[in-house]
Chain A
Amino acid sequence: MSDPVTGLVLLVVLMGFLASGLWIALSLTAVAGIALMFFSNASVGPNLATIFWGHSHSWSLTALPLFILMGEILLRSRLSRDMFSGLAPWLGGLPGRLLHVNVLGCAIFAAVSGSSAATAATIGKMSIPELRSRGYPESLILGTLAGSATLGLLIPPSIILIVYGVATEQSIARLFMAGILPGVMLVAMFSGYVALRAWMNPKLIPAADTGMSLRDKLWEVRRLLPVAVLIGGVIAAIYTGIASPTDAAALGVLLAIVLAVVTGGFSMKDFLDALLSATRTSCMIAFILLGAAFLALAMGFTGLPRNLASWISEMGLSPYVLLAVLTVFFILLGLFLDGISVVVLTTSIIMPMVTAVGIDPIWFGIYLVLVVEMSQITPPVGFNLFVIQGLTGIDIMRIAKAAFPFFLLLLLAVVVITVFPEIVTYLPEAMTR
């Protein structure tokens, strides 16, 4: 059978498994088994067992459950409750006023939790009722929340960058550093958009609350500072090379426990809930990674990604054209699949093609995360939309419409980092010196 036919058959089989409701990790495993059985001479079972074992105990993957646990602990601490009151006095003066709480609150919380859906849920629970009661326009409340919650994927420590790093054997420390500037850029873009809307139509935004003295402002923000220090510390330790991401994650867990206990309201039950929930999430992601690793091995045996890569480079395709095609492809894929699945499918099939045209794998990781962020806010499958629907009961299409400007801003961010790749590569390169 020729390569294109083999590829197409396997793609259809995979889509069939996924559509039938077979669990994603198992769908990947099944299609890999079929590829090995029918399109290579390699044995299936022994390879499966070896891959499952070999990919389940890596040192860099150990950062995954630890960062998830850190997020789960902080999620249950007072921090999330204090986010609104801590940030609101500082941002009330900007054009767009308290809508910026959504953007900045999400950015901070995203850094902590590393998960986009958890960010949307936690910040949304606080900010939606507050903003509504003050009369902010619904579309901007929902849009800023859905859009900014996606920042969790980019701002370190990011779970999905760990997944990408483990699957492609790239340095997670470098990936984390690469995500910082684009993350800051997105916060600026989202806030800028809100300010622009407010400036164009001042009637949109309700009047400011009465001002607070600096003293009161500082008092309100006191509980957010330790968290900022925690995240800053984690990033700094990784940047300077004092600690590997896994080391930093373990210390992050300890500090998060201390922080949660000291700020009060964190019970033993909260801790156990956090622990079991983190175990569950980490197990789910690790299982998908195992399925993806097996798929990557099977694909290697069939030679498909290699041939696809040489075919692409023979065509003399410029990286820009390839990226444009891939972006459309990922957006389509993201309509139906969650972010982690998109990432692992990419890494097992498309990576050789990407490196063949000379795209830096670290840069590609950030690009991929941005595209996956878009998929979080596109219907029919967009986890942030589901979460906000759950919070507000508003129809998913209306939320998607509110989030659409932020989808476009993410697309703009992709264009910007393509034109100026230094935004991504500067920090990881500065780190080596």
Chain B
Amino acid sequence: MRKTLDQLYLAAGWTAAFVILAIAILISVQVLLNFSTRVLGLPLPSTIPSYSDFSGFMLAAATFLAMPYTFRSGGHIRVSLVTARLSERAQHVSEIIALAMAAALTGYACVYIVFLVYESVHFGDVSTGSVPIPLGIPQAFMAVGMGLLFVAILDSLVQTIMTGTSVIAQGKET
């Protein structure tokens, strides 16, 4: 179970990472295409249709899919100035409270994000660019990512209570 969950977070994180790489490639191809038609006059289409829409949606997917991995690896930053000065016992309690609040918040957000996706699908909302993309598709990634973040937080909460120590890696870089 522990292994499965960790692999799940990491898999979502790697998916996000490759989506970001795909954005870099997509935009680079667009720029090179633009350059080769305008400057070199090659007979190619000068733009990839709706490439900025695509990149934006991919960015959203990457951001949300990376949430659980970022959370577990201590990537999301927090203020530890006060809590670090508490006694070990009080630190443990405050960690549980913080995780419980985080779980409640993300759980709440998930409900409304799922509802947003449902509405987009129900009303058949599409993006306004030259290639109409059903908004439900990129939004579904947001729902999945937030859902996994909720799972990761709940998982950390349970694990913290069971093991009696903080399970979230200490974030170092910002």
Residues of A that sit less than 8 Å from B by CB? 17-26, 29-30, 33, 45-46, 48-50, 52-53, 56-59, 61-62, 65-66, 69, 115, 117-118, 121, 243, 246-247, 249-251, 253-254, 272, 275-276, 278-284, 286-288, 336-338, 340-341, 380-381, 383, 390
Contact = CB atoms under 8 A, between A and B. Distances in A.
Given A26-B102, A57-B138, A280-B70, A18 B79 contact: yes
A276 B108 CA distance: 28
A26 B105 CA distance: 7
Interface of B: 13-14, 16-18, 20-21, 23-28, 30-31, 52, 55-57, 59-60, 62-64, 66-67, 69-71, 73, 75-83, 94-95, 97-98, 101-102, 105-106, 108-109, 111-113, 115-116, 138-139, 142, 146, 172-174
A57 B59 contact: yes
Contacts, number: 194
Given A20-B94, A247-B31, A251-B31, A283 B111 contact: no
Contacts of B52: 59
A286 B14 CA distance: 17
What are the 3 tightest A-B residue pairs by CB atom distance, in nearest-first order? A250-B27, A57-B56, A45-B112
Contacts of A26: 101-102, 105-106
Given A56-B64, A66-B23, A283-B67, A276 B81 contact: no
B168 to A, nearest CB: 10
B57 to A, nearest CB: 5
A50 B13 contact: no
Given A115-B174, A121-B173, 5 more contacts: A21-B94, A53-B142, A69-B24, A341-B77, A380-B81
Contact of B78 (A24, A57, A279): A24
B73 A280 contact: yes
Contacts of A46: 112, 115-116
A20 B60 CA distance: 29
A249 to B, nearest CB: 8
B41 to A, nearest CB: 17
B98 A56 contact: no
Nearest to A252: B24
Contacts of B79: 18-19, 21, 24, 336-337, 381
Contacts of A390: 172
Given A20-B97, A66-B24, A117 B173 contact: yes
A410 B141 CA distance: 43
Contacts of A337: 79
